[in-house]
Chain A
Amino acid sequence: MEEIVNRRISEVLKGDQNAFSEIVELYKDKVYQLCYRMLGNSHEAEDIAQEAFIRAYVNIDRYNTNRKFSTWLYRIATNLCIDRIRKKKPDYYLDAEIAGTDGLTMYSQVAAEGVEPVDEVAGMELQNEIQREISNLPDKYRSVIVLKYIEELSLNEISEILDLPLGTVKTRIHRGREALRKRLRHY
């Protein structure tokens, strides 16, 4: 897989834009999932995942082919997600009108989320609950938990993606697990 990716990258470097579509195709689900679990909603996840690929394309000449491409790509995506989380925090007031909706505020949005169709599969509900608990984690724990348990990456890769010492990654995973244990023990 890495070999195919590296071949496509050298084609992109030569200026062949179309070679990049294969790279997007290979990683889109992983990157989208990462963004979705980090951000907790599909609209933002799509937005940020696309942005991650565009950044990767624009900066492709800075990618070091001796390292794993996925690590580099996840790093871009994770950083974009963290930026987005930090930016949106202060302006997410419940009574703020949601852009593009007619007088719809976050109150109605929250209410709508609470009332789910009766025939909705119980599994879906549990999924949403779990996602909500992941979203409630502080972002430094959230990123390590998502990379470890959703993307199934090794601790070493996580430390490379987040540019953190291995010890810090371990501590954060432990804290993240503790937080999840407290929140999910009743399920």
Chain B
Amino acid sequence: MIMNENHDLMIEYMHEFLDEDIIPEHEVELREHLKTCPECRLYFQELKKAVALVQSTANIHAPKDFTQSVMMKLPKEKKKNEVKRAILRHPFWVAAAVFMILMTTSMFSAWNENDHFSVTKAENIVIENNTAIVPEGKVVKGDIVVRNGNIRIEGTVEGNVTVINGEQYMASAGNVTGKVEEINQVFDWLWHQIKNVAKEVLSIFE
């Protein structure tokens, strides 16, 4: 009985030894015991052999095109990631694009908001039912912009005339020294805005 208990203890020490987790006292005890006990010696041999056999199984390698097939099966990169990466890689272009979007939307809303009649304030302009009139014989100095209305020119305008969302009528006696422009489309309006901005920008450099 004492012998059996000792065997069990020794087997436990064998496992501790194989786990490289044995304290020196246990190792000494195990070695001493193995010298005198052929039964335990055989048992220990069998354990070590089992481990060695498992370890002897040859290293096997993944099939040749393993990496390639994994890469082909990966889900496509997420849209979110693509956007994130675009921002990280091209911060300037993303900022420019965002700026353009904001600009255009604000211009569109500017176009849509201003649907009431307005005329550049100037002397000698008479207003009648959404129509600005430059009376015969009178001279308006400077540019005129009419929004959401018409203009009738019977006198002289010393400058440009711009009509947004309206028409201009020129009487035979009427005279405009600058350009006359009618803008009725959103894109015309945009183009006009851009030209103005460009002109302003250029004038800075002049």
* B204 partner residues in chain A, CB cutoff 8 A: none
Given known pairs A36-B60, A155-B21, the reply for A185 and B50 (CB within 8 Å) is yes
A37, A42, A177: residue with the most chain B Cβ atoms closer than 10 Å: A177
Interface 0/1 of B78-121, CB less than 8 Å to A: 10011011001000000000000000000000000000000000
The secondary-structure label for the interface of chain B is helix
Question: Could you tell me if B74 and A180 are in contact, using CB atoms closer than 8 angstroms?
Answer: no
Question: Could you tell me if A187 and B49 are in contact, using CB atoms closer than 8 angstroms?
Answer: yes
* A183 to B58 alpha-carbon distance, docked (Å): 19
Other-chain contact of A130, B21, B47, B54 (Cβ < 8 Å): B54
Q: Count chain A residues whose beta carbon lies closer than 8 angstroms to a beta carbon of B.
A: 44
CB of A184 closer than 8 Å to a CB of B: yes
Question: Could you tell me if B53 and A184 are in contact, using CB atoms closer than 8 angstroms?
Answer: yes
Question: Could you tell me if B47 and A177 are in contact, using CB atoms closer than 8 angstroms?
Answer: yes
B53, B62, B82, B88: residue with the most chain A Cβ atoms closer than 10 Å: B62
* A185 to B53 alpha-carbon distance, docked (Å): 10
Name the segment of B63-71, B173-181, B193-201 touching the other chain.
B63-71
Question: Could you tell me if B54 and A21 are in contact, using CB atoms closer than 8 angstroms?
Answer: no
User: In the complex, which residue of chain B has the Cβ closest to the Cβ of A30?
Assistant: B62
* A177 partner residues in chain B, CB cutoff 8 A: 15, 18, 47, 50-51
Q: Count chain B residues whose beta carbon lies closer than 8 angstroms to a beta carbon of A.
A: 36
* A18 to B15 alpha-carbon distance, docked (Å): 45
* A21 partner residues in chain B, CB cutoff 8 A: 67, 70-71
Question: Could you tell me if A25 and B88 are in contact, using CB atoms closer than 8 angstroms?
Answer: no
Other-chain contact of A150, B19, B54, B77, B88 (Cβ < 8 Å): B54
User: In the complex, which residue of chain A has the Cβ closest to the Cβ of B56?
Assistant: A130
CB of A145 closer than 8 Å to a CB of B: yes
19 A-B pairs within 8 Å (CB atoms) are namely A15-B85, A17-B71, A17-B77, A21-B67, A21-B71, A24-B71, A29-B61, A32-B60, A33-B59, A54-B74, A131-B57, A174-B15, A177-B15, A177-B50, A180-B50, A180-B53, A181-B47, A184-B53, A187-B49
Interface contacts beyond A28-B66, A177-B18: sample of 9 additional A-B pairs, CB < 8 Å, sorted by A: A24-B70, A32-B63, A46-B63, A50-B66, A50-B70, A54-B75, A58-B75, A184-B50, A184-B54
Q: Footprint of B on A, CB under 8 Å?
A: 14-18, 20-21, 24-25, 28-29, 31-33, 36-37, 42, 46, 49-50, 53-54, 57-58, 126-127, 130-131, 134, 145, 149-150, 155, 170, 173-174, 177-178, 180-181, 183-185, 187
